[in-house]
Structure 1
């Protein structure tokens, strides 16, 4: 048990909401997508949004027009303006990811995803540079330099994988990065450009990339990487099933890469995790479950020790990398399922948005914070990857000597509370649920709320966590006004 004297107050990091990931940007033209985004922005509040497909043809920025036997380039910003206007209107800044290759600039046919993002280098590098320049200049003209200079500009996505960059050709990526970074800086040296947005398993790219930048005198303003902790999958027609490494594995990845960056002489360089989750697959059922939230709790608590900003992948199941979703719950990355149904991971993030400004204590199952007004807010979790039942975990912390009674509120995510996936199972897993079924599921998507009042004096708060439970505990003093009521007598109420 903690005693109040054990608390060491320090400023709490708020990097948990630095950025949120999204499916390809063209999805922002859908009504349900924007409804989901407004919801997470209202209740959680992210600074940036990052997604693929800025230069994909469904947005159509790069176009070639035949005029009197000549080919002329036309840059069409109709859709991207509509998308970025919508983001900025709700307080979200774009975290620009430059890619994939427009159809007219591709050097060969290789693509990724259901929506066929082309992953090849430009057949005409000069035209790629002109596309980058024209796009950024347009953004500056539309939104103002003071706004656009705050948008990080990331070059490509996971070029260390053949899925995302033809042949995972490192030399070709480095040349693309150099051309792009130089183009960005030629517009204005204050624009922030970085990369290489690699995923885990290829961290030799960290040294290789930074060595290249030093040797070639190529600008780099931040380093970006992705992180997932799922083991090799068991694949079926519609799903990936993957065991997970312990949460510490992801935290160790962050620490290791930070050390590599520093060792290369880039201690000043911000380090962003621009994608992270448990599984890297958009058809892994773990994303829909309580386990996902319980697993990620310690990541959100501890990641900021090594990382300057991180981005959960993704906010919504309006997402089509593996095709149009085939059922309500299908293993999608989103915090929100289709129809605006809140998954446990959504509530984990909302819990984080309610934590205090100061950190008092943390361990492997408890994070204790304090708000400016003195309210204590604790997050507790009990992640387990074991099959079957596990022992409850007791958490307990002390409050300082209180002259007033203390109101305690517990908001609990358990297998039976705030877990709509379970309700969907009980309804027979309707693939395309009726409105009645959707409403029944929504009635069970909120955490269970329990309240109590503790007497004045030295008190402690205890709670037993069920398997994979996540619980937000808020403690605040009570200003008791009972005595101001002249004729109040609860004993006269029937059955009291």
Structure 2
């Protein structure tokens, strides 16, 4: 017998602004941006109703052949002539920025990593010959501090000046800028103090050219109590607030917004791994710890971008690397996003801080169908998680009162060590199913209701009967449209399995899978005569999203 969950919406009670916090996307491989598959996916995001979306990508300053590979990319933006003078080549850098803008989106510009000609070789082992030097650069050189901070300053000025000249000052100040990525781990070979020094020189250079530009840091990894990222985060915020500026020798450094990362778990290379799942609670707990520190240092008025907010930490790994990556192909990824983003939104309201999660997912060209990488599409087929973003993109921006007696409360945030406990080798078994969501008034006055059901245990099978009551509808006839993401709807993975799990489907086989990649209805539209309140009842599995439009 299915359990009953009561959901109540009051269409006559406004709850303020519904922030479209989900409009941030990122990925490692910058050179995938402008290839046909990358442009196709950028176009799909630009077609969403709340576009533009902001795109962040790594390796934008790196030296190489400008051809994307897993976890690396390059633009050859900077090199030096025989006299040690800087030479700039913006060709491939512009390809990337152009792709974002031409598709109808905007850049979230990551300023990193270190060009080969600027690397301080004191951080490297002695190497001989071009091959060995470049091999060492690709392995670790790009993580190093600059050999000359004045040259770095001039480089950043040249980049910002170029962007302002090519795209216009008003356009560029609408973007986000961020220095580096995860400097608390292997992405930065320097110390926390050296990162602060790099930030000081970067901030001065950026704002010398564009005083209105928004610049952030430090983009540290997941914050756990007593962990290195937490200590790094405090050190950086303390430096910006009270420290001696390395560039100007004055007190403090301007900080326009703040970034840090949150992940729900970790799945390393382990071909025969035991069952593990990402934890919603661990990810949200990391958000809470980060916001606590931001308040502690007096930066609660700053916007916060969780510039990587994901179920796990290895986007390029797939089911052939760790079988637990299977969740990325299914409705589970969509419900995980729905659950974490809804709780982040609640925290944002609770703390009075604007918090925006950035999904670190894109696409990989040439992969096997449903490879299990953290992507929105596979071979051009939209996965269930992208249908979640189609729902998000269609929503209005006026919150309506929403209650669910099946919603997980945020009490777990007070549980000691829940973030660590749930982060590794966590199965989710025995966990309750979280049934919650939110409601908004649509752009044309319609009532839009999102109800999700999520359990961390991906294998849990449980039905619940949703009893939805919508007050404040008035006395009139309404049309009810009901979309669903679950194992059978808006989920081409199920059709792929039905077609025999082909690695590279084509012809009728591909067409059959592709035909199931849109947002699908659970049932036919229904016309209902309402006298004040609308009452609906429907079944939901342990992993599903219902999207109802009433007008």
After superposition, where does 1:140-151 map in structure 2 within 5 Å? 140-151=164-175
**Could you tell me which of 538, 547, 550 is aligned with 1:463?**
538
Partner SS for 1:84: helix
- Relative distance call for 1:219 and 1:60 in structure 2 (3 A) is same
Query: Which has the higher relative contact order, 1 or 2, with Cα contacts under 8 A spaced 6 or more apart?
Result: 2
Instruction: Give distance in 1, aligned partners of 2:343 and 2:466.
Output: 21
| In the alignment, structure 1 residue 431 sits paired with structure 2 residue 431 | no
After superposition, where does 1:67-466 map in structure 2 within 5 Å? 70-106=83-119, 107=121, 108=124, 118-162=142-186, 164-166=187-189, 169-201=191-223, 202-213=229-240, 214-216=242-244, 217-230=252-265, 232-233=266-267, 235-237=269-271, 242-245=276-279, 247-282=280-315, 283=317, 284-304=325-345, 305-306=347-348, 308-318=354-364, 326-338=367-379, 340-362=380-402, 363=404, 364=407, 365-371=436-442, 373-386=444-457, 387-400=459-472, 402-449=474-521, 450=523, 451-457=525-531, 458-466=533-541
CA drift at 1:468: 0.4
Partner SS for 2:484: strand
| In the alignment, structure 1 residue 34 sits paired with structure 2 residue 39 | yes
Aligned to 1:482: none
Aligned to 1:481: none
Partner SS for 2:81: strand
| In the alignment, structure 1 residue 60 sits paired with structure 2 residue 76 | yes
Q: Which has the larger displacement, 143-152 or 272-281? A: 143-152
Instruction: Give distance in 1, aligned partners of 2:262 and 2:516.
Output: 31
Aligned to 2:72: none
Instruction: Give distance in 1, aligned partners of 2:137 and 2:52.
Output: 26
CA displacement 1:195-242 (0-9 Å, x = unmatched):
000111322222111111221222211110111111x43632499974
Instruction: Give distance in 2, aligned partners of 1:416 and 1:355.
Output: 23
CA drift at 1:116: 8.0
8 Å Cα contact 1:149-1:191 kept in structure 2? yes
CA drift at 1:393: 4.2
- What TM-score, normalized to structure 2? 0.77
Partner SS for 2:293: helix
Unmatched 5+ stretches in structure 1? 319-323, 477-496
8 Å Cα contact 1:240-1:281 kept in structure 2? no
CA displacement 1:73-116 (0-9 Å, x = unmatched):
21011222232223222332211111111122223379899998
CA drift at 1:369: 1.8
After superposition, where does 1:7-26 map in structure 2 within 5 Å? 8-26=13-31
Aligned to 1:484: none
CA drift at 1:151: 2.2
- What TM-score, normalized to structure 1? 0.85
CA displacement 1:288-317 (0-9 Å, x = unmatched):
221011111132234234253524334522
8 Å Cα contact 2:216-2:256 kept in structure 1? yes
- Relative distance call for 1:136 and 1:28 in structure 2 (3 A) is same
Q: How many residues are treated as equivalent by the alignment? A: 463
CA drift at 1:250: 2.6
Partner SS for 1:276: strand
CA drift at 1:35: 0.9
Aligned to 1:321: none
Instruction: Give distance in 1, aligned partners of 2:199 and 2:135.
Output: 20
Instruction: Give distance in 2, aligned partners of 1:286 and 1:145.
Output: 42
CA displacement 1:367-401 (0-9 Å, x = unmatched):
22222543111101111233242132424122436
Partner SS for 1:127: helix
Q: Which has the larger displacement, 440-449 or 395-404? A: 395-404
CA drift at 1:3: 6.1
Instruction: Give distance in 1, aligned partners of 2:77 and 2:272.
Output: 33
Q: Which has the larger displacement, 32-41 or 381-390? A: 381-390
Aligned to 2:549: 474
- Relative distance call for 1:238 and 1:86 in structure 2 (3 A) is farther
8 Å Cα contact 2:441-2:447 kept in structure 1? yes
8 Å Cα contact 1:359-1:368 kept in structure 2? yes
Instruction: Give distance in 2, aligned partners of 1:337 and 1:117.
Output: 32
CA drift at 1:193: 1.8
Larger Cα-atom Rg: 1
Partner SS for 2:235: helix
| In the alignment, structure 1 residue 48 sits paired with structure 2 residue 54 | yes
8 Å Cα contact 2:7-2:468 kept in structure 1? yes
8 Å Cα contact 2:490-2:517 kept in structure 1? yes
Unmatched 5+ stretches in structure 2? 1-5, 67-74, 125-132, 224-228, 245-251, 318-324, 408-435
